[in-house]
Structure 1
């Protein structure tokens, strides 16, 4: 693989991306995923107080539901996390995109969290009656299916069609990246690159995309995590 930008998702979205391009459809709007997350978050706040599993994801769930930033002070996810899902995000280099794809079984951070909440509520025997207008994706059906992590390589993206993940000019990141490339060794450089995400301002046509199935063993953040890709 010799692409510059990558996007991590799952095979759930493969057919849609082939048809509409990457970012041609925003599932958070088209499938009302953001509204559904808010709905389940509010139920969880009422019915899962004291639940240890929910407590671990409570802050990040709130940040996702209301599209906020969240600061994590320790652990493998230490740093500021930007939960803004307006545009498609691209990573510089494949590692961050692979981690995203592996961490989000359903290819979308919001959809994966929706299903996590759905399962926690069901496990706690909380009755859930999702309004039909919020369940166009069919959560009960999707939750029972399995999808593989999908890595997408993207070529020929002009900087004018990109912003940083915080909405600034992409040239700001490119300037920093160029400086780091000239001053750091290979491994240190790519470790730093995990901090740089970009937003694509417009859909990306299929002709610029290459698809890979991600094969992995172990767990993210552990020494036994290994991965490889197979071109589709």
Structure 2
């Protein structure tokens, strides 16, 4: 500001009113900068200027760089306090989104064996709970899962060649082969085991197909 200029009306807010009060400061002059006057000395001269000024002495308590810094700090603190709820809300929303993403792609697997076992059991419990909700009608698609066991699996089982596998001719052949060169009065257990194992093998295809069908439905659901 040029010498002889009086800014009292501006600083008092009468000439132009601001949302926040005017704060006058006295910066170092070019001569002070050339003389390497440090900021501590400059702030002391600033205080002395306002305290001894006949025009601004009554405003000395609300003038100067130190008061401006204090005012700005208070304003910044107020703004931060006002923004904290929205910042917390944004952080919580981000955390929820990240947790949802982790649930979708899978969380990190712990290196400890006990922790891994616990995680596996938790996943099994979660799967069991969701699967039961589908079957009980709490979630959609339960009727389609029932359809696999009520229609697809029975239809596949009816097509299995049990009539040929358990025919008298085949049973006699399997038992004879298990009996060996020395026939027994009672057919040996090995023959029956072969018949049972062969029958169970036939179940494998339809059972795996049913599991795949249910898994496909669960993925869609």
Same fold by TM-score greater than 0.5: no
Query: TM-score, normalised to structure 1's length?
Result: 0.18
Relative contact order, higher structure (CA 8 A, sep 6+): 1
Q: Kindly indicate which of the two structures has a greater share of residues assigned to helix.
A: 2
Give the structure-2-normalised TM-score: 0.19
Structure with more strand by fraction? 1
